Chain A
Amino acid sequence: MDEKLTTKLRILSDAAKYDASCASSGAPKRAAGLDGIGSTSNGICHAYTPDGRCVSLLKILLTNYCLFDCAYCINRRSSNVERARFTVEEVVSLTLNFYKRNYIEGLFLSSGIIRNPDHTMEQLVLAAKTLRREHGFAGYIHLKTIPEANPWLIEQAGLFADRLSINIELPSADSLARFAPEKKAASITGAMSQMKERIDEAKEDRRKFSPAGQSTQVIVGADATTDAALLNTSAVLYKDYALRRVYHSAFSPIPSPSAVLPMKAPPLQRENRLYQADWLLRFYGFTADEVASASRDGMLALDIDPKAAWALQNRERFPLDVNTADREMLLRVPGLGVRSVNKIVAARRHTRLRLADIGRLARSVKRLLPFLITADYRPTRISDRANLRPNLADAPVQGSLF
């Protein structure tokens, strides 16, 4: 590949990496015809970078020139970052060449705002359309939606993309006004509603419109929003816009910082706790209020995970008998995941589960001991135990850097 194009790739992949999403799952099962290329999967990570993040898609910006001036963003117009711009043909060719070598599942294309939002969105749609129409590309395509663009462009984007997303970035209208002066909360929610409506209609009509749904990202630690407020925002987004996923991304220092947001190490542990809490909302039947009830001043504990924190606040509900307890309650046991719970529920129809059995069904039995009763085991009452918290603390996920 020629040097000029490699330089562009360097600049425009660097510029895109602050978007946490790299999901390639949720698309309908699909494979290219005889003269096309590609198929969908349940999500394959083709590589992992040393930050532990998955590389599934070619995640790039069409351009990092931008007319907006969002303080948290490396690409804001007042940043001194090096600029570049791909042509649509370059994006298409790069995607196909990477795909043929099995480097990626598809393309995640976003862009700085050039000329105007409509023009930018048209270019994004054109890249997706060219891949699908001219090259019979059946791989995954995620397009960033520009909420300030005219709504008919969203109608077009959904025809070619598997997923559309708009990043809220800042969780309150107030922060948005302060740090992202060109953005308006109303255009963001308006575009999200439009996408939700289309996605729902398409499902009913058995058509294709962004079949893998929509997602969003919220930056954590750029403003003073508490975890409880963030989780509330997530709960509202899941309910009102049927989002597939709300990503929380720790605000990361960027090479060309803005004066209004002082740089510090990203709050990765906090991000991880929010990630765990998000799973509790989506798969474990917790409400945002329940998760928040185990926080302090609206902030999740950093030493233990939010499920353990909830269990410690609700000790009177434990221990549970694995052979009789409801599935909903088993999901609330710290250390039992959805899969383990499903296995327990299936197995106990045929047998009385003993502690050794649980050892084979769960990842680690030690963590579970204070919370479970089995056919041959009963713990001391946990309300009497003071040393529970340190036992539930997990090793810090992130080795400290500084």
Chain B
Amino acid sequence: MIRVGLGEGADLDGFRAAVRGLVARRAPPAEVSWCPAGQADLFGEGERGEESAAPVGLPRALSELIRLVVCHSDCERYALLYAAIWRVLNGERALLDIQSDPLVHRLEAMAKSVRRDLHKMHAFVRFRETRDPDGTERFVSWFEPQHFIVEASAGFFVERFRSLVWSILTPVGSLHWDCTALTIGPAAQRGDAPESDAFEDAWRCYYENVFNPARLNPKVMRQHMPEKYWRNLPEAASIAGLVQQAPKRAREMIAREAAEREKRDPLKAVAAMAGQGPQTLEELNRLIAASEPLTPGANRAVLGEGPMEPAVAFIGEQPGDQEEREGRPFIGPAGQLFDKALGEAGIDRSSVYVTNAVKHFKYEPRGKKRLHKRPNPGEVKRYRWWLQRELSFVRPKLVVAMGGTALLGLTGKPPSVLKTRGPIAFDGQPGYATVHPSYLLRLPDDAAQQEAYAAFREDLIAVRRLMGGSS
């Protein structure tokens, strides 16, 4: 008989070392006896595993099972695990798939119990705030787990409360986090934790009031929150009273007659409710400026510019780098080209309204530069509400969409610029579609650029004619 000694609690490292040694010696489970610390039998402590033996390759599912089951409080845990390892290594590679096997069934039940205990610890730890002698704010909890899960539970608390200083004290060990490192400490006592916390009354108040007495069902509560946890849960002190009072409270609610409202109905307020939302362009612009960008990374919204009730409003795609810096639309290279074409077409820029379908600059950082990135259809749709409301305030006689994004913003439908060049109706209002001036800048050769520019200018001349030649 080989006797293996292991450390206290969940000794995963000790077990791993032992298994390596035993597998190397081809020791069958029947010839091994396992002695966790504190359970030494008549023959004293067993031998420790050899660190030097080679690692044993196990299916991932079995490693996961081992990690959980070593935390179980059952002193047979190591023997059961080794029996499963032995079978897996000796022809039953798929053993864990067969959960009807009595050994697998038992191990799975143990793993489930550990998993549940971990879950309950994550749920039922209650921190109380206290101050260390040096003035540090510390959150301390006393918790009594069923299995050896203190270390296994730590990752969850570290991740969640990384910026707090905290301690979790239990009868089998303690955890201490100082915002940078985790320390595993010795067993503690209930008296080591603070007795109260300034927010516990509020928490109990909350707990009592989210309970609906007409739905009393203490059985289900006990299933999920077994009584053994109650003594460390501040809210549990309210349970008895809530259960006792519930039938009476429910009966009273049912017996109660409908009453007339004691206070006057807020009829004026109800009537006023209808007139919600921005009432002027200024209000809308304030709202857009205060909103979170719906394309990531933008610094500020670039709003429309120009007179109200103009003969024409030009809708572009989105502000560029320079537009965003200065907070004005159409002032970058494309804007300058637009101005030039406007002039040549005989339209005065100060007499028209210009704005963009998307109000924020979408870009891709490339070193120090921010490269323009075309907004995708979803993004354009997210900005439609604002564009529609904006035009309803501006009330232009003619709306000109420059490029596909503007068309999508105005119609909500995916456009093809080539098919929709020329006069078009937006929601029954007169409109006109053309290319975006930045398209001209992107054309590779001069000839194509000049040809496209001429066509763009022709479009603007057509727009001027539609405006009635007023400019």
Contacts and interface: CB of A to CB of B under 8 A. Distances in A.
Contacts of B261: 77-80
Contacts of A201: 378, 381
B424 to A, nearest CB: 24
Contact of B214 (A39, A41, A265): A265
Given A6-B201, A9-B205, A51 B215 contact: yes
Contacts of B254: 253, 263-265
A254 B224 CA distance: 26
Given A47-B225, A80-B261, A102-B127, A37 B217 contact: no
Nearest to B198: A1
Contacts of A80: 259, 261-263
Contacts of B405: none
Contact of B207 (A49, A101, A357, A358): A49
Contact of B162 (A31, A51, A268): A31
A172 interface: no
A13 B145 CA distance: 31
A271 to B, nearest CB: 9
A55 B210 contact: yes
B185 interface: no
Nearest to A122: B287
A113 B219 CA distance: 37
A54 B223 CA distance: 11
B208 to A, nearest CB: 8
B210 A1 contact: no
Contact of B256 (A54, A257, A343): A257
B364 interface: no
Interface residues of B, number: 89
B71 to A, nearest CB: 19
Interface stretch (A224-232, A280-288, A345-353, A377-385): A345-353
A27 interface: no
B292 interface: yes
Interface residues of A, number: 99
B160 interface: yes
Given A151-B385, A401-B216, 11 more contacts: A17-B209, A34-B162, A41-B156, A52-B221, A52-B224, A54-B224, A100-B127, A101-B139, A259-B258, A268-B215, A399-B217
Majority DSSP secondary structure for residues of A touching B: loop
A66 to B, nearest CB: 9
A46 interface: yes
A320 interface: no
A322 B262 CA distance: 65
9 contacts: A37-B161, A45-B123, A47-B207, A50-B218, A50-B246, A59-B210, A78-B265, A103-B126, A115-B269
B242 interface: yes
A162 to B, nearest CB: 15
B448 to A, nearest CB: 32
Contacts of B209: 9-10, 13-14, 17
A117 B266 CA distance: 15
A259 B209 CA distance: 25
A117 B100 contact: no
B386 A152 contact: yes
A361 B100 contact: yes
A187 to B, nearest CB: 13
B242 A49 contact: yes
B227 to A, nearest CB: 12
